[in-house]
Each structure stands twice: as structure tokens, then as C-alpha cells.
């Protein structure tokens, strides 16, 4: 194959730059699920990788998919399924972590079937629900026929029942195999464009292309040949196990008629048609797939409680984004304002560390089910570089986290009753509610302090295209299902939404936000008047009145570690000019204290509870570009410098725009300041007067009133 293949323009625009074919022998790992067991089975010198996810519950086994993909196709469903089942997944010979034999005789349907059985034997699976996707539906049917005692349920998803080819079809397949060998990038683009024909499917398309890039066209061509010529219709007619057939009526890879045939042939089979659905439901619609599987297999929580309606207390579920601590501090202020207006209201919290740690310290109840959530902060840390975070792509690649966490959310709402759900930047709930509107069971209030993903890299057509696609998806969601958000609250004012377009042909951000949100003003977690006595604050927290106090803080993740190290290097230079200087580095729980130099007057702390009290009495703050910390400094009129993360569209565009409105844009670029320049700029800022606009102090109360108004709306149930 050519070392420098021609990459189709669509593939580049959506999937981005790719290495040479076959140079990714390992598929991307499942980010939020670790195998309970994994290994290899070997047959005739060919090793096949397998894994078991989850260590309890009934078995659920995925027959290995056609070699153009691998088990990474299941990344959106494995993490949640593993909380309810012992899940078997494997990579079929020819892709993923399995071997890629070079002779055609190693790629036969008999080998594929025997590899699957060998994995089930290795894991001692006596009885399982078996899932067959696309071509591998034939493997699942064969197992249910030949080993009926082993298959409790059969699930066929977009599956073939037979792959006999008429002459015209045989010629088309021959040409496809030739294209695999000679134009592998073009074939991948063509294949997965057909598989993901649903609108706004760029992310599963990209993932699937990368799965295909982990192998080479010659191996997939041999692999395809092994699936051809087989007819499992007689075996299907003889099956006795409960069977669910799921098929998209717009499936352009496996005709919908194949699903209809399977449902007609298999005694008692149930056919679920995915209206306007394409080929690979687990990748495109993981929530729908998981719910169908659980409903069909009958897996239920071991215990539950039903409380008579009139005995139920008023309860709210508050979902707080765990990326940093700013969201949860304002959310707690809103929750307290709600309870001040309705003292009998109970609030449960749905979040993960560090936000959950803060709430528990404040005496709040974090629901125990949150132990099953994936951690958003860890995902963002993995995506970060040296003071650099491509925030849009960090959000875009959070789809696995979002699917898992939304499904855990639906588990909770199935088990317990809440009068209202409040989501502060709860993107997973907002997105999947719009994709699965039938799941909404109570009022939902959505909060955010920014609207719109914006490209950061000049000339990067891929980023611009994908940002616009995501924004268009959100806009279309709200237009089609305006009732999903019973109220959308913008934590700010109209002018805080920038006058920029969502993308080509899309509306402007400010005008669209004005039409679709109510505005609360900024929601502070404190009253600035209560923090006005700096001497009292210093005495309370152990600072001397004579200190020139500098506090450097970067939030609850390790993303800001490079900035803290740069500030620590600048400290001796600043101390030389200002002998009374004392600096406190708030490193967070994930940055080790030992990583910083030891200097007299330099303290490194892993965590400071209610950091805003310390910031309110400092002479200078050096912070990352997050909105919450910056607005708290504006409210307490403290001098500060902010260092927005490079390529972080929220910090670099939305936050700076908001701070400009408050005459407080103190941003500097991390890479443009040497250690000496940082020290000089910090001292200059410390001694300069501030001229900020006042920050409104009633934002939390305004938000609370809006939320309670929705909860009291007696007409909601009629929607």
C-alpha cells in the first residue's frame, strides 16, 4: 500500500490528521471502565484478545464484530452495562489487540465462531445474553442454535441473517475488497459515512474511522471474505430463546428487510424499529441501546421503595458540574436560597470529587449512587498539556463519560422521586434528554454561564466545522423540544453573551441566548459586605496584617500545575523586591507538594476550604482564567492576574468578554511572560488601584426564585 495515501477531505475535516494505516495496533481504551479480567485465547497460533467488564450480575456477551471495527465500538455502553452485568467483549482476529494473520484460510466464519466460543469457555460463561451486531449477528444465531443451553437471551442489532450474494452484489463486494487494499482511507470514509447517516454523527464516525485505522485494508478484505456465503435462516427458525431484533429503518449498510426477516423467522422474536436510525445503534445512541437491553433481559435493582404520593417530601436533585469548584459553590448558594424560601425542601446532590468533597464538608447530602459516576475532571486532566487545554475537543471526547453518567442518572430517577431536577452545566442530562425526550419525568431547569462552543485555532477548518456542528445540534434540540428545559437560566446578564455567531448560517449567540434563557445576574457564593473587614479575615485565617499576601490558585484539577510552578519560580524575585511578601500556592489535591521548591514565605497547600475568604483579604491573586474565581475577586475588589488556558474557548473568549464588561479583564498569556516578567507584572498589579464595576449580589436568590417557580407550576404535568 502507498506510504502516503490520499486522505478524503471529509475524513480530514471530521477525524483529523491520521498516522500511517496499521500504526495504531491498540484501539483507544475504554476511558471509564477497566476490565475485571482480560487476556488472550490462542487457536492455531492466532491470539484473540478478550475482556470481562464487571464482576457481578448475569453474563452479557458481545459476539466480536466485523474486522473493520473492534471492541472500542462499545465504549459508550460498556461502562454502564458493567454496573449491571458481567460483560464479555473481544476483538476479532484482524483488528484491535488481536492478531492479524496474513493468509485467507485464517479468516473464516468457523474461525470467528470458534474464537468466540473459546473466550466464553475461558471465562467459564455457562449462560449469557448474547448480542450480535451487524455481520456478527450470524455468530450469535449460530451459538444460540448449537449451544441453546448457553444463551438466555439473543439480541440482534442491525444484523445479517444471511450473506449470500447474487452476481451483481458479488461484483460490488469484489470492488469493495479491491478498494480496501488500494484506497483504504477512502473506503473507511465511505463505509462509515453510510453507517452513520443520522444528522450530527461526526463523533461516532470519527471513532469508527480510528478503529479502522488500527488495521489495514488487506486484513479487513480477507476478514470480509470470511463472512460471505453463509445462510443462518434455517438455524434462526429453530431457535427457542427469547430474541430481540433491533434495526434502523434507514440502515444503509444492512437493509431493514434483514431485521424483518430475522423477526419473522425466529419464533416469538420482538422487533424494535429505530425510526430514522442508521446502522450502529450502540455507538450512535448508547442510551437507547442500553435501556432496550436492560428492559429485554429483565435486570432490575435488587431492592426499591415506593412511597405513597402524599407522604413524599419535597425533594430536588441538584446536578453540579465537577470541573473545578466554582459551579458547586454558586449552586450551594442557590440551594440555600431555595431552602430559605421553602424550608421543608430537601436537596440531594449529583456530582463527583472535588465538588462532592466540598459539599459533604458543608453538611450537604451527596447521593450514594454518585459513586458510580465517571469523573469529568480526570477526563479534562488527561486532555490537557502545559497550560493548554483544547476545551472544545475535551468536551467532544467526553461522550463516553456523558453516556455513562446520564444512564446512572436515569437509574436514580427510576428508583427515587424528585419534584425537580436542576442541572448546572449538566451537559450529559441536557443532551441525552433531548435525544431521548420520553425519559423526562419531572421539571428540569438548566443553568449555564456560557452559551456556544467557539473555535480557537485560526485556520483550523476541522475545529470550526465541528464547533458549528455541535452548536447546530444544540440549537435544533431546543427548537424541536422546547419543553425539555422548563427553564434555562443564564448565570449572568444579556451583555455577558458575546455578539458572535454560532457558526456559518447559524444565529448570533447573544440574540439566541436572549430568546431562550432567563437572566439571573452573576450568582456569588457570599455577600461581599460580609468579607469587607480584611483585618478580621486575616486574623481568622492566620495571616499577619503586615504580610503582603499573594495567593495563587488554579482550581481542583492538575491542569494548572505548570502555572503554579512558574509562579513558584517567580516568588524569590518578587520577595527580593517586596521583603514582606508571603505567597500561598493552593495546589489542589492532585498536585504533590513535594514538586515545589522550598522558600521562606512560600506555603503550598493541597486544599483551602472556602478559598474566596482567603482571596478576599489578599493583596494580589494569581489565578487561572475560570469565571468563578475571577468574579469573586472582582466582587471583593482584589487585584489579580488571570492566565487563561491556551485554546480554552470558554476562558479565552466567554470569560474575558464577561470580565471586560466589569472593567476587570486582567488576562495575560502564560507563554508570553518569562519568570522575570511575571514577577514584575505581578508586583505592578499588586500596587495598582482597581476600578471594577460592582457585581450584583442577588443572583443566587433570583435563580432560586426562578427554580421554585418552575417547581410550583401546576400546569407542568399537562405538557
Joined together, the cell numbers standing for residue 285 give: 445512541
pLDDT in tens, 146-186: 999 999 999 999 999 999 998 888 999 999 999 999 999 99
> Which residue, chain included where needed, has cell 502555572?
563
For CA atoms 631, 633, 637, 638, the dihedral sign is negative
Residue 475 has pLDDT above 50, yes or no: yes
Instruction: Work out the pLDDT band at 550, boundaries 50, 70, 90.
Output: very high
CB atoms within 10 A of CB 381: 16
Answer yes or no: is pLDDT of 361 > 60: yes
| Residue 357: partners with Cβ closer than 8 Å, 6 or more residues away | none
Q: Which residues lie closer than 8 Å to 579 by C-beta, 6 or more apart?
A: none
Least confident interval from 455-459, 475-479, 592-596: 592-596
Q: What is the pLDDT of residue 324?
A: 74
For 641, what's the count of Cα atoms within 13 Å in the CB-facing half-sphere? 23
* Per-residue pLDDT tens over the stretch 106-161: 999 999 999 999 999 999 999 999 999 999 999 999 999 999 999 999 999 999 99
d(CA 410, CA 441): 10
Q: What number is the average pLDDT over the span 634-657?
A: 96
Q: What is the pLDDT of residues 277-299, one digit of tens each?
A: 999 999 999 999 999 999 999 98
**Residue 590: pLDDT band by 50, 70, 90 thresholds?**
low
**Long-range contact set of residues 677-681: C-beta below 8 Å, sequence gap at least 24:** 678/566, 678/567, 678/570, 679/570, 679/571, 679/573, 679/574, 679/577, 681/641
Whole-number Å distance between alpha carbons of 273 and 351: 35
pLDDT bucket at 487, cuts 50 / 70 / 90:
very high
User: Given pLDDT bands bounded at 50, 70 and 90, which one contains residue 589?
Assistant: low
Within a 10 A sphere around the Cβ of 254, how many other Cβ atoms? 22
Q: What is the average pLDDT value for the chain, to the nearest integer?
A: 93
User: Of 298, 301, 49, 300, whose CA–CA distance to 155 is shortest?
Assistant: 298
Asked if residue 692 has pLDDT above 80, the reply is yes
Q: How confident is the model at residue 564 (pLDDT cuts 50, 70, 90)?
A: very high
Residue 715 has pLDDT above 60, yes or no: no
pLDDT, tens digit, for every residue of 371-381?
999 998 888 88
Q: Percent of the chain having pLDDT more than 70?
A: 96
Distance CA 249, CA 276 (A): 6
C-alpha cell of residue 569: 519560580
pLDDT one-digit tens code per residue, 310-360:
999 999 999 998 887 889 999 999 999 999 999 999 999 999 998 999 999
Name the pairing type of β-strands 365-366 and 420-424. unpaired
Above 90 in pLDDT, residue 556?
no
pLDDT band of residue 20 (cuts 50, 70, 90) is low
Q: What is the pLDDT of residues 591-639, one digit of tens each?
A: 777 778 889 999 998 888 999 999 999 999 999 999 999 999 999 999 9
Q: Which residues contact 626 (CB under 8 A, 6 or more apart)?
A: 324, 326, 555, 651, 655
3 band by pLDDT with thresholds 50, 70 and 90: low
**586, β-bridge pairs:** 553, 605
Q: What is the pLDDT of residue 719?
A: 40
All three cell numbers of 42, joined, read 490462542
**Cα 272–Cα 286–Cα 392 angle in degrees, nearest 5:** 145
Cα separation, 261 vs 257, whole angstroms: 6
Which residue from 662, 716, 671 is spatially nearest to 690, judged by alpha carbons? 662
What is the percentage of the chain residues whose pLDDT exceeds 90?
Answer: 84
Directed axis angle between helix 427-435 and helix 399-415, to 10°? 80
Cα–Cα distance between 550 and 639 in angstroms, integer? 10
The three grid cell numbers given for residue 435, joined into one nine-digit string? 435525544
pLDDT beyond 70 at 268: yes
pLDDT digits (tens, 9 = 90+) for 392-405: 999 999 999 999 99
User: How far apart are alpha carbons 466 and 452 in whole angstroms?
Assistant: 12
Instruction: Answer for the pair 468, 504: CB distance below 8 angstroms, yes or no.
Output: yes
Residue 243 has pLDDT above 70, yes or no: yes
pLDDT tier, 205 (very low <50, low <70, confident <90, very high otherwise):
very high
Interaxial angle between packed helices 427-435 and 286-297, expressed in degrees from 0 to 180 and rounded to the nearest 10: 70
- Contact criterion met (CB below 8 Å) for 95 and 68: yes
99-103, 182-186, 432-436, 715-719, range with the lowest pLDDT:
715-719
Domains and CATH numbers, the chain: 33-297 (3.40.50.1820), 309-524+702-711 (3.40.50.2000), 530-687 (3.40.50.2000)
| Cα torsion 614, 618, 623, 629: sign | positive
Going by pLDDT thresholds of 50, 70 and 90, the confidence category of residue 1 is very low
Which whole number is the average pLDDT over 264-279?
Answer: 98
Residue 428: pLDDT over 50: yes
pLDDT, average across residues 699-712: 96
For residue 4, pLDDT over 60 is answered with no
pLDDT of residue 322: 83
Q: Which of 45-59, 327-341, 578-592 has the lowest mean pLDDT?
A: 578-592
SS3 content of the chain, % helix, strand, coil (to 5): 45, 15, 40
pLDDT band at 2 (very low <50, low <70, confident <90, very high): very low
Amino acid at each position: 500500500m502507498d506510504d502516503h495515501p490520499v486522505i478524503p477531505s471529509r475524513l480530514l475535516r471530521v477525524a483529523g490528521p491520521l498516522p500511517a494505516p496499521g500504526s495504531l495496533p491498540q484501539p483507544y481504551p475504554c476511558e471509564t471502565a477497566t476490565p475485571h479480567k482480560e487476556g488472550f485465547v490462542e487457536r492455531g497460533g492466532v491470539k484473540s484478545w478478550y475482556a470481562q467488564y464487571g464482576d457481578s450480575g448475569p453474563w452479557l456477551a458481545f459476539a466480536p464484530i466485523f474486522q473493520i471495527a473492534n471492541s472500542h465500538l462499545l465504549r459508550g455502553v460498556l461502562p454502564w452495562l458493567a454496573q449491571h452485568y458481567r460483560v464479555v467483549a473481544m476483538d476479532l482476529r484482524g483488528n484491535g489487540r488481536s492478531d492479524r494473520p496474513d493468509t485467507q484460510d485464517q479468516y473464516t466464519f468457523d474461525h470467528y465462531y470458534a474464537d468466540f466460543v473459546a473466550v466464553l469457555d475461558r471465562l467459564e460463561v455457562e449462560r449469557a445474553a448474547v448480542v450480535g451486531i451487524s455481520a456478527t449477528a450470524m455468530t450469535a444465531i449460530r451459538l444460540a442454535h448449537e449451544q441453546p443451553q448457553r444463551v438466555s437471551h439473543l439480541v440482534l442489532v442491525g444484523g445479517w441473517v444471511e450473506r449470500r450474494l447474487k452476481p451483481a452484489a458479488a461484483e460490488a463486494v469484489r470492488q469493495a475488497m479491491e478498494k480496501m487494499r488500494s484506497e483504504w482511507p477512502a473506503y473507511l470514509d465511505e463505509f462509515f459515512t453510510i453507517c452513520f447517516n443520522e444528522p450530527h454523527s461526526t463523533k461516532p464516525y470519527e471513532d469508527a474511522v480510528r478503529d479502522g485505522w488500527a488495521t489495514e485494508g488487506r486484513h479487513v478484505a480477507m476478514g470480509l471474505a470470511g463472512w460471505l456465503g453463509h445462510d443462518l435462516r434455517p438455524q434462526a427458525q429453530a431457535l427457542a430463546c427469547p430474541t430481540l431484533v433491533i434495526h434502523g429503518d434507514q440502515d444503509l449498510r444492512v437493509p431493514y428487510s434483514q431485521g424483518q426477516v430475522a423477526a419473522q423467522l425466529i419464533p416469538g422474536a420482538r422487533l424494535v424499529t429505530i425510526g430514522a436510525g442508521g446502522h450502529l445503534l450502540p455507538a450512535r445512541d448508547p442510551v437507547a441501546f442500553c435501556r432496550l437491553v436492560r428492559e429485554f433481559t429483565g435486570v432490575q435493582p435488587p431492592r426499591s421503595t415506593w412511597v405513597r404520593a402524599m407522604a413524599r417530601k419535597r425533594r430536588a436533585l441538584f446536578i453540579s458540574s465537577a470541573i473545578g469548584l466554582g459551579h458547586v459553590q454558586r449552586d450551594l448558594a442557590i440551594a440555600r436560597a431555595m431552602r430559605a424560601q421553602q424550608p421543608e425542601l430537601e436537596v440531594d446532590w449529583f456530582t463527583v470529587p472535588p465538588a462532592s468533597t466540598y459539599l459533604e464538608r458543608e453538611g450537604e447530602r451527596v447521593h450514594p449512587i454518585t459513586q458510580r459516576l465517571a469523573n469529568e475532571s480526570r477526563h479534562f486532566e488527561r486532555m490537557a498539556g502545559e497550560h493548554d487545554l483544547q476545551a472544545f475537543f475535551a468536551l467532544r471526547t467526553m461522550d463516553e463519560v456523558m453516556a455513562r453518567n446520564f444512564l446512572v442518572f436515569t437509574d436514580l430517577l427510576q428508583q427515587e422521586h424528585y419534584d425537580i431536577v436542576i442541572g448546572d452545566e449538566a451537559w450529559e442530562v441536557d443532551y441525552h434528554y433531548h435525544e431521548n425526550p420520553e425519559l423526562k419525568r419531572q421539571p428540569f431547569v438548566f443553568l449555564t454561564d456560557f452559551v456556544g462552543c467557539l473555535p480557537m485555532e485560526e485556520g483550523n477548518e476541522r475545529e470550526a466545522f465541528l464547533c458549528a456542528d455541535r452548536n447546530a445540534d444544540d440549537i435544533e434540540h431546543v427548537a424541536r423540544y422546547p419543553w425539555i428545559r422548563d427553564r434555562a437560566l443564564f448565570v449572568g446578564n444579556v451583555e455577558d453573551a458575546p455578539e458572535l455567531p454560532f457558526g456559518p448560517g447559524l444565529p448570533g449567540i447573544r440574540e439566541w441566548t436572549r430568546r431562550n434563557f432567563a437572566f439571573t445576574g452573576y450568582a456569588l457564593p457570599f455577600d461581599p459586605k460580609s468579607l469587607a473587614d480584611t483585618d478580621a479575615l486575616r486574623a481568622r485565617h492566620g495571616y499577619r496584617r503586615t504580610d503582603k499576601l499573594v495567593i495563587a490558585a488554579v482550581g481542583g484539577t492538575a491542569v494548572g500545575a505548570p502555572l503554579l510552578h512558574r509562579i513558584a519560580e517567580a516568588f524569590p524575585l518578587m520577595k527580593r523586591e517586596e521583603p514582606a511578601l508571603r505567597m500561598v500556592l493552593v495546589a489542589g489535591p492532585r498536585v504533590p507538594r513535594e514538586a515545589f521548591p522550598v522558600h521562606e514565605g512560600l506555603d503550598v497547600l493541597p486544599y483551602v476550604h472556602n478559598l474566596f475568604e482567603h482571596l478576599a483579604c489578599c493583596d494580589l491573586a494569581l489565578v487561572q482564567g475560570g469565571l468563578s474565581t475571577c468574579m469573586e475577586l472582582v466582587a471583593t475588589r482584589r487585584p489579580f492576574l488571570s492566565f487563561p488556558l491556551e485554546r480554552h474557548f470558554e476562558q479565552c473568549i466567554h470569560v474575558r468578554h464577561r470580565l471586560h464588561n466589569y472593567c476587570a479583564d486582567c488576562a495575560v498569556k502564560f507563554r508570553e511572560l518569562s519568570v522575570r516578567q511575571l514577577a514584575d507584572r505581578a508586583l505592578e498589579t499588586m500596587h495598582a488601584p482597581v476600578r471594577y464595576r460592582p457585581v450584583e449580589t442577588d443572583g443566587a436568590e433570583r435563580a432560586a426564585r426562578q427554580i421554585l417557580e418552575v417547581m410550583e407550576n401546576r400546569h407542568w404535568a399537562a405538557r
